[in-house]
Structure 1
Amino acid sequence: MRIISGQFKGRRITPPKKLPVRPTTDMAKEAIFNILNNLFYFDEISVLDLFAGTGSISYEFASRGTENITCVDEDFGCIKFINATADQFKMPIKTVKSDVFKFLETTKLKFDVIFVDPPYAFSLDEFSKIPELVFQNELLENDGLLVVEHAEQMDLSQLPHFSYSKNYGSSSFSFFEKVE
């Protein structure tokens, strides 16, 4: 795994093999960050990375200058790895070891970008809980964006606040926005 752009461009990060993760591919990361780059100034936003896994998405935000990044994962090994990597590169990443759904129910924080990379095996009901909790608890700032990564076979277009989706290889990203 490598950081594809920004201050730490080209740095390789090697997570332990035993982590229960499926990292976002470099091609998909590059594509999603091209979209986000046209919507946000990275040094002015706050980011929530849910089901953070190896922290790959958070490292990309940090490398581009984002100072307010929170990673949530319930696996202690993932949290430990993210903390070690963030310390190594002096990245401003905070971690929370928690069940993602419990975090979404209890947090009072708001974010400009919420990136979610749950297990691809999630059911539509499990996927639908994510935007439901984000919007019900008003976790997005005005003009904020919820980005959900999922298998291309999963169709989230019927969920409330859905805006559009993009496919990259076997991965898809669905974008959700507040409708004013």
Structure 2
Amino acid sequence: MRIISGKFGGRPIHPPRGLPVRPTTDKMREALFNILQAYLEWEQVQVLELFCGTAAVSLECISRGAAGVCCVDQDRRCVAAARKMFQQFGVNNARVVQRRAEVFIKQCDEAFDFIFMDPPYQLAGQAALIEAILERGLLLPEGILVVEHTAHLSFEGLPAYSFSRNYGSSSFSFFNIAT
């Protein structure tokens, strides 16, 4: 794994072995950020990454100039790995929270420009999490929500759904983008 672009571009990411994650591939992250660059000016962006795992997406956002990131994961090993990675890269505008995503969404009183959610593909209730994010106002009016999921899952009927992009057995669904 590596950082695709920005001030850390090209630097490798070395998450610890044995984390209970399925990291977003370099190819998919590059495709994601190629799409996002048309919609976001990174210097002002506040980011929320739910189910952060290795926090590679947040680190990519920081590398591109994001104002700040908040990473959430319930697994203590993922939280420790994310904190260590931010420390290794000298990042001081990242917050890492150990909490279940559902609980964080219910308790959060902040709003974000970009929310990335990469739950375990088999997790039940992903649509309910998306709806809760939108209903609770975690996404700013001009913000973008992206969900990584198995290509067999569709969120087309949900509020604010914009479009999806498939990459083999995985997909990104984009919400709140005026098309």
- The reply to whether TM is greater than 0.5 is yes
For the aligned residues, what is the CA RMSD? 1.2
SS in 1 for 2:31: helix
Separation in 1 of the partners of 2:31 and 2:157?
Answer: 24
Cα deviation for residue 89 of structure 1 reads 0.9
Corresponding residue for residue 156 of structure 1: 155
Match status 1:118 vs 2:155: no
If the length of structure 2 is used for normalisation, what is the TM-score? 0.95
- Equivalenced residue count is 177
Unaligned runs of 5+ in 1: none
State the Cα deviation string for residues 63-118 of structure 1 (Å, max 9, x = none): 10112100000011111111111011112211010000000011000000100000
SS in 1 for 2:6: coil
- What is the 5 A alignment of 1:135-154? 135-154=134-153
Separation in 1 of the partners of 2:159 and 2:141?
Answer: 17
Is the 1:131–1:176 contact (alpha carbons within 8 Å) kept by the matching residues of 2?
A: no
SS in 2 for 1:157: coil
AA matched with 1:109: E
Cα deviation for residue 156 of structure 1 reads 1.2
Separation in 1 of the partners of 2:45 and 2:9?
Answer: 20
Separation in 2 of the partners of 1:17 and 1:88?
Answer: 17
Is the 2:162–2:177 contact (alpha carbons within 8 Å) kept by the matching residues of 1?
A: no
Cα deviation for residue 142 of structure 1 reads 1.7
Is the 1:142–1:178 contact (alpha carbons within 8 Å) kept by the matching residues of 2?
A: no
Greater shift after overlay, 162-171 or 105-114? Answer: 162-171
If the length of structure 1 is used for normalisation, what is the TM-score? 0.95
Separation in 1 of the partners of 2:8 and 2:177?
Answer: 32
Cα deviation for residue 178 of structure 1 reads 7.9
Greater shift after overlay, 87-96 or 104-113? Answer: 87-96
Separation in 1 of the partners of 2:175 and 2:36?
Answer: 13
AA matched with 1:111: F
Separation in 1 of the partners of 2:119 and 2:89?
Answer: 26
Percentage identity across aligned positions? Answer: 44
Corresponding residue for residue 42 of structure 2: 42
